């Protein structure tokens, strides 16, 4: 089937699904249960161990765990389990005042010693911890926690807001399997049961920050976005997270549904392996230049995504408009670059060859986000026009992180939060700072640029905002000039809920789905 025909079929299937959804009762008429909340999500976690993979995100999203700091709707860092903090005059020590009156869900009081033990546990169990910061010593004294760092850390409160560092009661671990039963945290809910397909939470009677409105929260994982939309329309769930852009119009009736829809801090990008055929900068640039990202976002995805260009999305003030894309869409340039790199179509089959090898690349994608296969097929179609043979491989989400670290791909597409610590430093650092002796395992692509590493070193010690901003702009331009990744687009994010609820909000950081602010609406 020709590629255009495949796109047409895909769009027809989406339209048919929408028609079926509209005809499935479509009224959300099930009577709301004042004691039970049901949330439709897509879940990537095999367990609730917060130090495994990125599973701490799920522990926080499900209302089990909280961290010392959190982000507000503007991505400003705010106190949470720590009520305040300060940095020493030499910038080498941070002191956090742990909030009084907080208890874990087992009733044990939270103090600095418990926080210290939890943070040390995260460092011991997940090597990603040291990519945030390295510490010389942690000291606990009553409700005061002091962290002495190896170097100045301008963004320490933002780092500690990451779900990897959510606070758990380490002393409960001998009697409780955190992976299967959920950790003992300080959130409004605690785990009753968990499997990947469904989690059940119950009220934490010891919660410190106000009333917990529901006795039970059921969280089925509904990975298919059309099925998730149907579940919300039929009343099988009371709210759903990240309804696909093409289905949002099904919930425009304000008498039935509330839509909380915001520009996200996410970038859909394809990491590029520097160790394979795309290690040649001209070949990389040709692939990127062949991709018509304007059409992908405005036509195929119907304007629900913004055209990709830079690492950091335009929703953040880090120079998006002033950055120059050297590899913007240009088919003729892509063909010329490949010719300069020595690739020719010797046998006339439309696929270029060099030294007896075809210009073949593997584009790895996971399909729990509806847009990712669409982007991959669009790029496959465009790249074929200039002589690439692109093979799309679909894998389970849980393999993506491992493949990203091990470099088991030519292109690896992901939908990534770019400011999970308040600004994009960690995101940029993880994927493009040189991985020296395994100190930056997230960069499995093999990309390395000494000039970029020097900029990262400056950024890591810079406290002044405008100087940090300019360094982040400079870093992005270097990445773009090198063709280090293909930046496809920038999505919105949403929570859609029945009007029987109030308080369901989507935050840019994407960490806070289930909170005690979600409760039955007042009649």
pLDDT digits (tens, 9 = 90+) for 446-470: 999 999 999 999 999 999 999 999 9
Q: How far apart are CA 184 and CA 190, in angstroms?
A: 7
Q: Which of 130, 156, 175 is a domain's end point?
A: 175
Residue 219 resides in a domain: yes
Distances in whole angstroms, Cα of residue 509 to Cα of each of 263, 287, 431, 495: 11, 31, 19, 13
Looking up residue 273, the CATH number of its domain turns out to be 3.10.105.10
* Structural domain boundaries enclosing 203: 29-43+177-259+493-520
Looking up residue 36, the CATH number of its domain turns out to be 3.40.190.10
Structure tokens at 96: 């956090």
For residues 310 and 248, state if they share a domain.
no
Instruction: Give per-residue pLDDT as tens, 350-409.
Output: 999 999 999 999 999 987 788 999 999 999 999 999 999 999 999 988 788 888 888 899
For residues 64 and 151, state if they share a domain.
yes
Q: How far apart are CA 245 and CA 297, in angstroms?
A: 11
Q: What does the DSSP 8-state code read for residue 171?
A: G
Q: What is the DSSP string of 371-422?
A: HHHHHHHHHHHHHHHTT-EEEEEE--HHHHHHHHHHT--SEEEEEEES-TTS
For residues 273 and 399, state if they share a domain.
yes
Mean pLDDT (the chain, rounded): 92
Q: Which of 158, 175, 192 is a domain's end point?
A: 175
> 70 Cβ partners below 8 Å, 6+ apart?
77, 78, 79, 80, 161, 509, 511, 512
Instruction: Give per-residue pLDDT as tens, 315-324.
Output: 899 999 999 9
3-state secondary structure of 465: helix
For residues 336 and 458, state if they share a domain.
yes
For residues 435 and 497, state if they share a domain.
no
pLDDT at residue number 186: 98
Residue 326 resides in a domain: yes
Domain count, the chain: 3
For residues 238 and 287, state if they share a domain.
no
Angle between helix 425-432 and helix 465-481 axes, rounded to 10 deg: 30
Q: How confident is the model at residue 39 (pLDDT cuts 50, 70, 90)?
A: very high
- Has residue 281 got a pLDDT over 90? yes
Residue 21 resides in a domain: no
Structure tokens at 328: 């913007």
- Has residue 15 got a pLDDT over 90? no
- Has residue 165 got a pLDDT over 90? yes
For residues 255 and 365, state if they share a domain.
no
For residues 488 and 397, state if they share a domain.
yes
Residue 5 resides in a domain: no
In percent, how much of the chain has pLDDT > 70?
A: 94
Q: How confident is the model at residue 30 (pLDDT cuts 50, 70, 90)?
A: low
Residue 456 resides in a domain: yes
* 171: phi then psi, degrees, rounded to nearest 5: -65, -15
Residue 11 resides in a domain: no
Q: Which of 154, 175, 196 is a domain's end point?
A: 175
For residues 426 and 302, state if they share a domain.
yes
Instruction: Give per-residue pLDDT as tens, 43-55.
Output: 989 999 999 999 9
Residue 383 resides in a domain: yes
For residues 246 and 293, state if they share a domain.
no
- Has residue 21 got a pLDDT over 90? no
Residue 416 resides in a domain: yes
Distances in whole angstroms, Cα of residue 407 to Cα of each of 275, 357, 399, 451: 8, 21, 12, 23
Instruction: Give per-residue pLDDT as tens, 201-253.
Output: 999 999 999 999 999 999 999 988 889 999 999 999 999 999 987 788 899 99
Per-residue pLDDT averaged across 174-197, rounded? 97
For residues 393 and 484, state if they share a domain.
yes
Query: Quick check: 224 and 243 in contact, CB under 8 A?
Result: no
For residues 251 and 391, state if they share a domain.
no
Per-residue pLDDT averaged across 93-122, rounded? 98
């Amino acid at each position: 089937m020709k590629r255009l025909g495949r796109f047409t079929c895909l769009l027809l299937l989406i339209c048919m699904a929408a028609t079926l959804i509209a005809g499935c009762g479509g009224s959300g008429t099930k009577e709301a249960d004042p004691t039970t909340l049901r949330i439709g999500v897509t879940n990537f976690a095999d367990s609730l161990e917060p130090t495994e993979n990125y599973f701490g995100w799920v522990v926080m999203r499900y209302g089990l765990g909280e961290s010392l700091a959190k982000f507000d709707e503007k991505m400003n860092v705010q106190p949470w389990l720590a009520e305040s903090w300060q940095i020493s005059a030499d910038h080498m020590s941070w002191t956090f005042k742990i909030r009084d009156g907080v208890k874990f869900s087992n009733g044990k009081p939270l103090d600095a010693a418990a926080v210290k033990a939890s943070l040390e546990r995260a460092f011991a169990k997940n090597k990603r911890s040291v990519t945030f910061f390295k510490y010389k010593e942690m000291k606990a004294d009553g409700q005061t926690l002091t962290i002495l760092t190896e170097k100045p850390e301008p963004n320490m409160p933002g780092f500690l807001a990451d779900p990897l560092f959510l606070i758990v009661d380490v002393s409960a671990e001998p009697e409780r399997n955190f992976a299967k039963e959920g950790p003992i945290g300080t959130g409004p809910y605690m785990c009753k049961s968990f499997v990947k397909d469904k989690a059940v939470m119950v009220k934490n009677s010891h919660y410190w920050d106000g009333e917990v409105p529901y006795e039970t929260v059921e969280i089925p994982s509904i990975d298919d976005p059309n099925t998730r939309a149907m579940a919300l329309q039929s009343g099988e769930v009371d709210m759903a997270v990240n309804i696909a852009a093409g289905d949002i119009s099904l919930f425009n009736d304000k008498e039935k549904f509330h839509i909380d829809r915001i520009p996200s801090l996410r970038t859909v990008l394809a990491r590029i392996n520097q160790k394979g055929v795309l290690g040649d900068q001209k070949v990389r640039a040709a692939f990127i230049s062949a991709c018509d990202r304007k059409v992908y976002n405005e036509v195929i995805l119907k304007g629900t995504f913004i055209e990709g260009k830079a690492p950091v999305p335009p929703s953040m003030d880090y120079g998006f408009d002033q950055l120059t894309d050297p590899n913007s869409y240009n088919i003729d340039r892509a063909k010329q670059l490949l010719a300069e790199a020595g690739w020719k179509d010797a046998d006339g089959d439309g696929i270029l060859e060099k030294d007896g090898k075809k210009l073949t690349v593997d584009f790895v994608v996971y399909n729990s986000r509806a847009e990712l296969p669409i982007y991959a097929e669009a790029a496959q179609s465009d790249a074929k026009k200039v002589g690439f043979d692109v093979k799309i491989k679909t894998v389970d989400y849980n393999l993506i992180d491992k493949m990203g670290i091990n470099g088991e791909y030519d292109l690896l597409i992901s939908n990534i939060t770019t400011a999970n610590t308040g600004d994009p430093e960690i995101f940029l650092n993880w994927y493009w700072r040189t991985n020296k002796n395994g100190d930056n395992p997230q960069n499995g692509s093999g990309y390395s640029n000494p000039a970029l590493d020097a900029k990262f070193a400056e950024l890591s010690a810079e406290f002044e905002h405008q100087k940090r901003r300019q360094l982040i702009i400079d870093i992005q331009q270097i990445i773009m000039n090198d063709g280090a990744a293909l930046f496809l687009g920038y999505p919105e994010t949403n929570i859609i809920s029945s009007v029987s609820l109030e308080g369901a909000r989507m935050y840019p950081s994407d960490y806070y789905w289930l909170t005690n602010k979600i409760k039955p609406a007042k009649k």
